[in-house]
Amino acid sequence: MPAAVWEYYIGGYQVMKKWLSYREDEILGRALRPEEAREVMNMARRIAAIVLLQPELDRNYRAVAGATYAWKG
């Protein structure tokens, strides 16, 4: 897993670490099920897509923010 995916934070939480922390063997009393392992994989893919898109998303935000209409009132 690329470091950018593991290091991705939302709302002050490291997403992958937080998700996995609730599914530790000591907490669940069992290993991850196949569907849970697939969810981790899918989550990593979604985060990777966001990380890869981030520069374009930032450019788009700056363009939109710079082109707002100043309401008079």
pTM: 0.75
HSE at residue 26, side-chain half, CA atoms within 13 A, is 1
Count CB neighbours of 66 within 10 A.
7
Model confidence at 2, in pLDDT bands (50, 70, 90)? low
Residue 19 is predicted with a pLDDT of 93
pLDDT of residue 70: 85
Ordered by start, the domain boundaries in the chain are 3-57
- Residue 1 has a pLDDT of 62
pLDDT in tens, 15-67: 999 999 999 988 889 999 999 999 999 999 999 999 999 999 999 999 999 99
